[in-house]
Structure formats: structure tokens, C-alpha cells
Amino acid sequence: MSTNQLDKKSEAWSALFSEPMSELVKRYTASVFFDKRLWLADITGSLAHAEMLAAQKIIGASDLADIQRGMAQIRSEIEAGGFEWKLDLEDVHLNIEARLTQLVGDAGKRLHTGRSRNDQVATDVRLWLRDEIDLISDLLKELQVALVDVAEKNVEVILPGFTHLQVAQPVSFAHHLLAYVEMFSRDAERMVDVRRRTNRLPLGSAALAGTTYPLDRERVAKTLGMEGVCQNSLDGVSDRDFAIEFTAAASLCMVHISRFSEELILWMSQNFGFVKIADRFTTGSSIMPQKKNPDVPELARGKTGRVVGHLMGLITLMKGQPLAYNKDNQEDKEPLFDTVDTLKDTLRIFAEMVGGQLNPATGAKEGGITVNAAAMEAAANKGYATATDLADYLVKKGLPFRDAHETVAHAVKAATSHNCDLSELPLTVLQGFNASIEKDVYECLSLRGSLNARNTLGGTAPVQVKAQIARHRTRLA
């Protein structure tokens, strides 16, 4: 359909059609009210295409100049909020093209030479997503830096490490936070990887089979900063695997955020009292005056379901589509847009909630999470967190590990009945379990001794944690 016909609303699609589309169908099939956010990518892609058409002498130099002038005007109209988006024009592509033709006449009608909306939309989504991935990568870095900042201040703070949510072994709070830094660094790696496959050019695939015009696709790819061209036209217009991959990477990232949220929520409850987050990230209750609820981490945990849902939606959308383009693909946009919005907001808010906000007057960050080291340490002192250390001590005295394990089980039982910690059992009592136990046992029964002893790469000993912090600092610089 040519764009001047598009202007005549409520008319049939073309001479081929005997009646106009029904209003309901128009609304059902239109995407302009959500895909208009692709407008900048659409204009950028069109300008690269037009510039190549002119270089290849498929359109004239004056056509190119007209297209550039018209697009500049459209750009300022959209930026100023004065562009009139029309439902009758179905989507962002036809809206912009129709306005271009209105502004510059025939040159506008020549823009679509050697192009189809099928390769146009695939290009636009890729361009848009590529830039969003870059913003997400920056935010992932900010969040990692915030976590490393807090970790650096808490290397010596001892937290009960859990397995099965039962006290297991003491860990440095910094070590615990750095576990999330690892997760988010892998999320960032995944984003870089998805970006490579997203940043390839479908334009030139035309409707499905390529085009009869002597296009220079490599040139367009170069103009758009893309890493290559899609090598098969049918694949170029139809697959949305890059969007699915992105949403999978985003889902994993949200899952990591969700796990961290769950811990923050637990740590903030009165029964733990390990951390506080700034009041601006919490809400009160309308009935219980004492409440300060961790709404942000809770919502983030909830929004994870929403993003994972989008992954399911997108992957199901692709399933069963024959080659090449099908209108089903128009349904890729809302889940993709919402995934990007949700992830960006969540990362931004978490970076600030953890690391605080920059105070321009002092140059320091303020209002990040507050750590209650005493509460963490007190909790680590419950639950016999150093029992493994006692077993390891006995192994060093020559006991086979299984026997040491059993011996310590007896000691824990005794300590439980005395309602005390292992480190509070007198030496004579401990020696009753194994004669080789000496005074130096108390060093390994202390939380700090336990921490220091785990001095292998990736372990929680403060020297190891400091080495990891230094590595992250270099990596994130």
C-alpha cells in the first residue's frame, strides 16, 4: 500500500479490497500505540537505507536530501510531542512514512524502495534493543560497584552462612555480597553476548526473499554500527531469537535480584535485624503504625515473575511459526518493552538502595544499606557454626574425617544440653570426647578463627575476600 492512500482514512487497503477494515479489526491489528517508541530507531534505519539507495543511484541525490529534511522535521515534531499518531496508519513505520510523504512528496514514496516492513521492523527492534542493552550493561555495572562498596566496608563482619536456611558456617558479610557480584557479572556477560547477535542487520531481506535492487547491505550495516548482516533473508525477517535470548538473560538477572530481595526481606525482619534500608525504599502500613515494610525488594521479587512470564510469552510466540514473517511477531513488542522497562527500573533502584545516592556536596554516597554487625555476629554464634572447624581440627590430629564428624556430633549434643556454644565447653569436657584436643582448639572454635581458616581461592577468609574486592575493582574500573 502506498502512503498517500494511507492518508485517506477509512478507505480500503488498496484497489484489491472491496471494503475498508472494520473498526474492531483496525484496533486489533494496530500496534502504533505501543510500537511508537521505536520511532528513533525507525528514522535512523530509514536514513541509513535512503543514504545507501542514493549511493547506489537507486534514488536521486535530491530525493535523499528531501528524505533527510523531512525526517529531521518529523524528529523534532515527535520530540516536541506534536506528532499526530494515527491508529488508521497501523504502526510506527506507516505513520512516519505517511508523514514523510506529506512533507516531501515523491521522495517520501521512494524511501520504501527495496524494503518491506518485515525487514524494517526487524531492524528497528534490533537497533532499539541494542541501545537498551547498553543502558542495562551500565546499570549492571553500577549495581556491582554498589555491592563492592558495601562489601569493602564489611570484610570483617561475620554473618551466619546458611544451608537449608539452617546456620551452617560463619562467612564474611562481604563474601556474601560478592556472591551477588558474581551473579550480576555473569548477567553482564550474557548481555554482551546477546548484544552481538542482536546487532545484525535484517534490512535488505525485504519481504522475505531479498530484493531486485542492487542494495549495499554491508554499507547500511556499517552506517548503523551493526556487526554484520543477516545472511539469509527468510531468517532475517522472521526470527526473534535475539529478543527471546535477551528476555532469558533478563529473567536470569531478575532471578538474581529476586534471591537478593528475599535475603534483604529476611534480614530486615525483626527476627534477624541484620540490615536496614533507607526509609525512602520502604512503606508504612495503613493500620499498623509500627510498620516499615520492604516494599521495593518484595515488588522486585514479584516483578521477576512478570519478566519470566514475558520469556514464556515470547518463546511460545515463536513456536509453530512457519517461515518467513508472520503477523504473530507484532506481539513481540509489549513483552520485550516491559522486560526492558522492568529490568532497568529494578537495577537502578537496587543500585541506589544498596550503595546510596551521591551527595554532590561531599562527593560521597549516602543512604545505602546499614549493617548491624553485632546482630549478625550474635546470630552466627547460635547454631554451632564452627562444628565443622572442630571436625577439621580432629582430622589434623590424625582422626579419619567420618570419625571426627561423629565425635563432634557428640560434642554438639553436649553443648546443646548445656545450652551453650562449643567454644564455651571447658577443655576437660572437650577432651572427654577426644584426648588429643588441646587448648589451641578455642582458636578454631571462634568465628574469626573459622573465617581465617577458609583461606583457599574463593573462600571466605578476609585475605581472600580482599583479593576478590581488588579483582572486582579492576574489572569494574
Say how far apart CA 396 and CA 448 lie, in whole Å. 19
Tell me the CA end-to-end span of the chain in Å, nearest whole number: 52
Site for ligand ARG in 7-36 (CB under 6 A): 31, 35
Say how far apart CA 93 and CA 121 lie, in whole Å. 8
User: At closest approach, how far in Å is the CB of 207 from ligand ARG?
Assistant: 7
Kindly tell me the burial class for residue 431, based on how many C-beta atoms sit within 10 Å of its own C-beta (0-12, 13-18, 19 or more).
middle
Kind and range of the H or E run holding 229 = strand 228-229
Cα angle value 226/79/123 (rounded, 5°): 25
User: At closest approach, how far in Å is the CB of 97 from ligand ARG?
Assistant: 12
Cα angle value 299/301/302 (rounded, 5°): 60
Alpha helices (H) in 273-399, listed in sequence order = 295-318, 333-355, 373-380, 387-396
Residue 330 as a binder of ligand ARG (CB under 6 A): the answer is yes
**Annotated catalytic residue: which of 10, 14, 164, 417?**
164
Kind and range of the H or E run holding 431 = helix 427-433
**How many residues form the binding site for ligand ARG (CB under 6 A)?**
9
User: At closest approach, how far in Å is the CB of 333 from ligand ARG?
Assistant: 6
When computed from its CA atoms, the radius of gyration of the chain, rounded to whole angstroms, is: 31
Say how far apart CA 265 and CA 269 lie, in whole Å. 6
Pick the closer one to ligand ARG by CB: 94 or 469: 94
Residue 346 as a binder of ligand ARG (CB under 6 A): the answer is no
User: At closest approach, how far in Å is the CB of 126 from ligand ARG?
Assistant: 13
Instruction: From 238-246, 252-260, 327-335, 339-347, give the range in contact with ligand ARG by CB under 6 A.
Output: 327-335
Residue 117 as a binder of ligand ARG (CB under 6 A): the answer is yes
Write down the residue that cell numbers 564428624 correspond to: 405
- Out of 329, 346, 434, 460, the only residue in the binding site for ligand ARG (CB under 6 A) is 329
Residue 121 as a binder of ligand ARG (CB under 6 A): the answer is yes
* Angular region, 458: left φ>0, alpha ψ -120 to 50, beta rest: left
Residue 46 as a binder of ligand ARG (CB under 6 A): the answer is no
Instruction: From 76-84, 113-121, 220-228, 254-262, give the range in contact with ligand ARG by CB under 6 A.
Output: 113-121
Pick the closer one to ligand ARG by CB: 119 or 421: 119
Helix/strand/coil for 207? coil
Instruction: From 115-123, 213-221, 277-285, 363-371, give the range in contact with ligand ARG by CB under 6 A.
Output: 115-123
Say how far apart CA 475 and CA 202 lie, in whole Å. 34
Amino acid, single-letter form, for residue 415: A
Instruction: From 54-62, 139-147, 326-334, 360-368, give the range in contact with ligand ARG by CB under 6 A.
Output: 326-334
Instruction: From 323-331, 343-351, 394-402, 443-451, give the range in contact with ligand ARG by CB under 6 A.
Output: 323-331
Cα 312–chain centre separation:
16
Pick the closer one to ligand ARG by CB: 97 or 245: 97
Residue 112 as a binder of ligand ARG (CB under 6 A): the answer is no
Residues 6+ apart with CB under 8 A from 441: 390, 393, 427, 430
Pick the closer one to ligand ARG by CB: 319 or 327: 327
Pick the closer one to ligand ARG by CB: 330 or 423: 330
Say how far apart CA 450 and CA 457 lie, in whole Å. 15
**Annotated catalytic residue: which of 269, 285, 410, 418?**
285
Q: Is-catalytic flag, 285? A: yes
Write down the residue that cell numbers 510506527 correspond to: 92
Kindly tell me the burial class for residue 111, based on how many C-beta atoms sit within 10 Å of its own C-beta (0-12, 13-18, 19 or more).
buried
Q: Is-catalytic flag, 175? A: no
- Out of 164, 319, 327, 439, the only residue in the binding site for ligand ARG (CB under 6 A) is 327
Residue 115 as a binder of ligand ARG (CB under 6 A): the answer is no
User: At closest approach, how far in Å is the CB of 50 from ligand ARG?
Assistant: 19
User: At closest approach, how far in Å is the CB of 236 from ligand ARG?
Assistant: 13
Site for ligand ARG in 50-109 (CB under 6 A): 91
Phi, psi of 324 (to 5 degrees): -110, -105
User: At closest approach, how far in Å is the CB of 190 from ligand ARG?
Assistant: 26
All 3 cell numbers of residue 12?
A: 480500503
Q: Which residues bind ligand ARG (CB under 6 A)?
A: 31, 35, 91, 117-118, 121, 327, 329-330
**Residues designated as active site:** 164, 285
